[in-house]
Amino acid sequence: MTTGKQRTIVFDLDGTISDPIVGISRSFNYALAHFGHAPLPEVALLPHIGPPLDDAFRALTGVSSSSAIAAYVAKYRERYSDIGYSENVLYPGIAEALQPLAAAGIPLGICTSKRRDFAQRILDLFQLRSLFRFVDGGDIGIPKWRQIEVLVISGQIGRDSVMVGDRSVDLDAAHRNGLSSGGVLWGYGSRQELEKEHPRYLFSEPCELRILAETGSKEVANHGVHGRHASSPP
C-alpha cells in the first residue's frame, strides 16, 4: 500500500493503456444477440467504452430492471472472460512511457470500471502488471468516482495524486475527490469531451507522459505538457 504522502499516478485502462474495441464490441453484441437484439456496428458502441457496463446496457437496450441489466452484464462477461480480454491491443509507445515512470520510483496504479480480475489479465497479457502497485476494478452500480474515493479513504493514494484517462468519467472522478487529472487524446474521448472537464494536462501521445515524472515541480504545475496545459485547471 502506498502512503497518502506519495503522489501516485492512477491510470484508466481501456482507451488509455490499451485499445479494447474488438473484444468489447464483440462481447456487447454477443450479449445483445442472446437477448434478441440486432448486432450493432463498432461506431455505435464507441461511446460506451469506459463507463460502467450497467450504464452502457441501459443506454443500448432501454431496459431499466436491475436484474435484467445484471443478466446482460453476465452474458457479456461470459465471452469477455473467455476471449474478449485477449483481443485488447496495447497502444504504441505506452510501455516505453510507463517503464521510466516506474523505474523512477513513482507509484503507479490502475483504476478501471472493468472487473479487477479482467484488468489483471490484460496487464499480464502485455507484461505490464509489475509496473503497477495496485489494480482497482469496478462492478455493477459502482461509479468511478466512488472507486477513487475508496482509494483516497483507504490511504492507497493521496489527494495530490493524478488520474489519467481518456473519458470525462475519469476526469470527473478525479475532480470529485480533489485530485488533478490528465486527459489522453489517443483513446475514445474527444478533445471537446475532455476539455469540458478542465484537466490539468492533455496528452496527445504517450511519450508526453514523461512530464509526470517531475513530481511536485512548479514547472509542471504551472505549464503542463508542451503548452497543452488546460486553461482552467481544477
Here the cell at position 192 is 471537446
Per DSSP bridges, beta strands 18-19 and 162-165 are unpaired
Phi, psi of 136, deg, nearest 5: -110, 130
Catalytic residue among 12, 166, 170, 172: 12
Phi, psi of 178, deg, nearest 5: 80, 15
163 CB-contact burial (10 Å; exposed 0-12 / middle 13-18 / buried 19+): buried
12 classed as catalytic: yes
Closest CA to 52 of 31, 24, 29, 30: 24
Please say whether the beta carbons of 199 and 182 come within 8 A. yes
For the annotated catalytic residues, the residue numbers are 12
